[in-house]
Amino acid sequence: MKSLNFKEELSLLIRAKCPIIYVVTWEEERAEKAIAQVAKECGPPRQMHYYDLVRGFEHNQEGKNNLLQALQIVETSDRQAATIYVFRDLHRRLASQRLDEILVRQLRNLYRSFRNSRKTLILLSPLLEMPSELEEQVAVLYFPLPENTEIRNIIEQMIPPEQLRMEGNSLEQLIKACMGMTRDRICHTLSKSIVQKHFLNESDIDRVLIEKQKRIRQTEFLEFFTPNETLDSIGGLDNFKLWLMQRQQAFSDEARAFGLPNPRGVLLLGIQGTGKSLCAKAIANLWRLPLLRLDVGRLFGSLVGQSESRTRQTIQLAEALAPCILWIDEIDKAFGGISNSTGDSGTSQRVLGTLLTWMQEKSSPVFVVATANNIHALPPELLRKGRFDELFFINLPTYEERKEIFLLHLKRFRPMELRNFDIDKMAAISKEFSGAEIEQAIVEGMYRAFHEQRDVSTEDILGAIAETYPLASTAREQISFMQAWATQGRARSASRGEVIDIPSDKLSVKLGDVTLMDNATKDITDKSRSKHRPLPLPPLPQIKSSSDS
């Protein structure tokens, strides 16, 4: 069934004689114009009356600062008249901390009175505040932010053609940059450029993006990223990189014409410090899409219904910015053990349910990137196919991947002295080190050299490696469990090779025809091996797969 837009759905509810409709929007004026247009097109056309506490009813100023009186006037009005009453900003009176029981009772009375009439009460508010007594009586609609066609009309109405200096597809990029902003914010942003320069050009796209970042930052639970990381910033993970490059044009018109659906998302599972967050940023850079980071912990509010409202606001913003990438970092910490959680009266379950339903049913081009460290804490319904296109497991880096990681960090820290470092030797003795631990070992070696007022050398880094206890050593049982879980075919490997022991001959350095081993390095290697000696993997745990549930 084709989904209805706002006007179609509102018209359907009015013609179906739905007594009370709650419209959630920050754009009061724009929403009222849309409601008035729907009222004219209904058969028969509806009269419009507007009310707020300060002015009362606009047509006769009755009911000023007396909400109960205003609702009683509505209830006693002509039952045969086809009328829509728009009440503004009732959310404060319906919020739990200021809930007016008399108001709730009057709204329920209105519901019974309006059921068989052509009168409709529309509550217009920027926030959804719904007492449980009204949940079954009130229909809720979310007024959408401006879309492409409307944004184009806004720009053409505001800016004379001679002041619109856009070349190529710059206008399309400006329209896309304005997605996710209200009409007023778009107008204010473009007006700044007109006042300052008397024209619009490509540079104003950056101004719009900065304004958009400010708006998203105001939500407190969404953060707008402009990532600089690329796939070249990631060492290894060749399988994952290939998978991403195959989908680089996935959101293009050519992909739709080919018959491809929009990609849904990817879940990155793995060990801490292996670059999962870096991967999320690299995806946005590769695909040239805006990146939104969702702080799930801040979704949960202290007020009743606030968490669910914030979740819906997140979805609305992400869809308004589409195509975009929604990054949910460490999703296991937010929803881990949710099936056994009863301390929040089911709020976590409702928030997760809203997210999962949206992920399953969404048609908008929003690509979800979720990362997780603790596999067994994830709810099974999150892992099943349909939520994500693929589940990737990011293991500890292999020998070749460690060489790449050392090379990447040394290029950043010491680009001119790169040839002076024995990368093969460092990669060989840093077995079971994650990418983050390799970076920290290099930094530790640099501190040693800085303290002695000389430049850093291979020996400094080797010494830092030998004195570092990696996570694979301190949390061996947990990591072994994760590796065993992944080897059962439950997730796709992000790397081409498996972590294997490095033969001792790989630790040697050949100088001409003579093979020498640095004694100090050999001692360090022996200590590292004895300290980080791998334990045998535990028996593969019998975990019920999501497909069995």
Percentage, residues of the chain above pLDDT 70? 87
Beta-sheet strands, E only, within 76-171: 83-88, 119-125, 138-142
DSSP letter for each residue of 477-523: HHHHHHHHHIIIIISEESSSS---PPPGGGG-EEETTEEE--HHHHH
Residue 38 CA, distance from chain mean position: 34
How far apart, in Å, are the Cα atoms of 161 and each of 156, 166, 175, 189? Answer: 8, 10, 16, 18
Q: Are 353 and 254 part of one and the same domain?
A: yes
Q: Are 245 and 387 part of one and the same domain?
A: yes
Q: What is the pLDDT confidence band of residue 4, given thresholds at 50, 70 and 90?
A: low
Reply yes or no on whether the pLDDT at 216 is more than 70: yes
Weakest mean pLDDT among 101-115, 141-155, 230-244, 481-495: 481-495
User: Does some domain include residue 542?
Assistant: no
Reply yes or no on whether the pLDDT at 541 is more than 70: no
d(CA 316, CA 321): 9
Q: Are 213 and 117 part of one and the same domain?
A: no
Give the pTM. Answer: 0.70
Most confident range, picked from 113-117, 169-173, 304-308, 495-499:
113-117
Reply yes or no on whether the pLDDT at 505 is more than 60: no
Q: What is the pLDDT confidence band of residue 147, given thresholds at 50, 70 and 90?
A: confident
Q: What is the pLDDT confidence band of residue 338, given thresholds at 50, 70 and 90?
A: low
| Stated length of the chain | 549
Contacts of 547 (CB under 8 A, 6+ apart): 384, 385
Last residue of a domain, one of 394, 413, 442: 394
Reply yes or no on whether the pLDDT at 539 is more than 80: no
Please state the rounded mean pLDDT for residues 243-271: 90
Report the amino acid identity of residue 214: K
Where b means 16+ CB within 10 Å and e means fewer, 111-143 reads: bebbeebbbbbbbbbebbbbbeebeebbeebbb
* Per-residue confidence (pLDDT) for residue 544, from 0 to 100: 43
Please state the rounded mean pLDDT for residues 58-68: 90
User: Does some domain include residue 543?
Assistant: no
Weakest mean pLDDT among 59-68, 359-368, 517-526: 517-526
Radius of gyration, CA atoms only, the chain = 30
Residue 381, both tokens: 């319904």
Q: Are 15 and 100 part of one and the same domain?
A: yes
Pick from 195, 214, 198: which is nearest to 165 by CA?
198
Q: Are 242 and 329 part of one and the same domain?
A: yes
d(CA 268, CA 370): 6
Report the amino acid identity of residue 451: H
Q: Are 322 and 448 part of one and the same domain?
A: no
Last residue of a domain, one of 114, 142, 170: 142
Pick from 253, 383, 394, 276: which is nearest to 327 by CA?
276
User: Does some domain include residue 482?
Assistant: no
d(CA 282, CA 232): 9
Cβ of 264: how many Cβ atoms within 10 Å? 18
Please state the rounded mean pLDDT for residues 129-149: 90
Strand ordering across the sheet containing 324-328: 222-225, 291-294, 324-328, 366-372, 265-270, 390-394, 492-493
Contact between 143 and 26 (Cβ < 8 Å) = no
Q: Which residue has the tokens 């409202």?
A: 309
User: Does some domain include residue 208?
Assistant: yes
* Per-residue confidence (pLDDT) for residue 364, from 0 to 100: 85
Q: Are 377 and 314 part of one and the same domain?
A: yes
Q: What angle do CA 547, 343, 548 make, to 5 degrees?
A: 10
CATH code at position 62: 3.40.50.300
Cβ of 173: how many Cβ atoms within 10 Å? 14
Q: Are 429 and 512 part of one and the same domain?
A: yes
Please state the rounded mean pLDDT for residues 301-309: 69
User: Which residue range is the domain that position 206 belongs to?
Assistant: 148-218
Pick from 279, 289, 251: which is nearest to 494 by CA?
279
User: Does some domain include residue 491?
Assistant: no
Q: What is the pLDDT confidence band of residue 453, given thresholds at 50, 70 and 90?
A: very high
- Beta strands 366-372; 324-328: pairing state: parallel
52 vs 297: which has the higher pLDDT = 52
d(CA 71, CA 57): 11
How far apart, in Å, are the Cα atoms of 151 and each of 28, 171, 177, 521? Answer: 17, 11, 10, 64
Last residue of a domain, one of 124, 142, 160: 142
Reply yes or no on whether the pLDDT at 304 is more than 80: no
Q: Are 287 and 229 part of one and the same domain?
A: yes
Most confident range, picked from 224-238, 322-336, 401-415:
401-415
* Per-residue confidence (pLDDT) for residue 546, from 0 to 100: 38
User: Does some domain include residue 540?
Assistant: no
Reply yes or no on whether the pLDDT at 205 is more than 70: yes
Q: Are 386 and 507 part of one and the same domain?
A: no
User: Does some domain include residue 489?
Assistant: no
Pick from 262, 288, 285, 257: which is nearest to 169 by CA?
288
Pick from 412, 509, 511, 394: which is nearest to 462 by CA?
509
Report the number of distinct structural domains present in the chain. Answer: 4
Reply yes or no on whether the pLDDT at 473 is more than 80: yes
Q: Are 385 and 256 part of one and the same domain?
A: yes
User: Does some domain include residue 210?
Assistant: yes
516 vs 418: which has the higher pLDDT = 418
d(CA 139, CA 16): 12
* Per-residue confidence (pLDDT) for residue 504, from 0 to 100: 41
Contact between 3 and 363 (Cβ < 8 Å) = yes
Report the amino acid identity of residue 293: R
Cβ of 67: how many Cβ atoms within 10 Å? 18
Contacts of 441 (CB under 8 A, 6+ apart): 430, 433, 461, 464, 465, 468
Q: Are 270 and 318 part of one and the same domain?
A: yes
Q: Which residue has the tokens 């910015």?
A: 321
